Amino acid sequence: MDVDRFVEDCVIANRESDAQAAVKEVLARAVSTPNAVISALGEPEKAGLDVLLSSSTLTIFAAIWTPQMNLMPHDHLMWANIGIYTGREDNIFWKRSADGIRAYGAEALFVGDAASLPEDAVHSVTNPLLRFTGGIHIYGGDFFDTARSQWNPETLDEEPSDGAVIRGIFERENARLGLDSNS
């Protein structure tokens, strides 16, 4: 996998009339050869968001989940495509209701899977494995500079979130496992 070419292909696909579907095709091709992705991005060793592109119209990063890491329900306020190249990612989907949010479905993503989430999706994520999970996440906007919501995992109270909040969660996961976030 040539990372620069992958990013360029995603940028070109993002100009299509159905940008999310076109970008997902590029992503699905990439994760269909997971060993090539690992060779290009490296074997996951700690939680993190390895940013490949961040712009106002497209954000691409490799998300690394620590063993048994959980991320509370959250929204993106933009479409998202997720492709798994090592490990597994379990998603619980939530719907807004008059009294907050309620779970309504789930999907497990395995190596080689690529999935799409609409702009209004709310989901929580778990790596159920005792090893790291790596996925390429692509968003139809500026993931890091968009104010959005997350929900407290115990009370389901809505709270503010953004890229800095999410990065902090990944840093705490590394600390939980005694890993240095900066190396």
Whether residue 165 is contained in a domain is answered as yes
Residue 182 has what pLDDT?
61
Residue 181 has what pLDDT?
59
CATH of the domain at 20: 2.60.120.10
Section 81-89 average pLDDT: 98
The count of structural domains within the chain is 1
Whether residue 84 is contained in a domain is answered as yes
pLDDT at 110 over 80: yes
Whether residue 181 is contained in a domain is answered as no
Whether residue 95 is contained in a domain is answered as yes
Residue 149 buriedness (CB in 10 A; 0-12 / 13-18 / 19+): middle
Range of the domain at 30: 3-176
Confidence of residue 155 (pLDDT cuts 50, 70, 90): very high
Distance CA 171, CA 177 (A): 10
Whether residue 70 is contained in a domain is answered as yes
Whether residue 182 is contained in a domain is answered as no
Residue 163 has what pLDDT?
83
Q: pLDDT tens across 48-71, in order?
A: 999 999 999 999 999 999 999 999
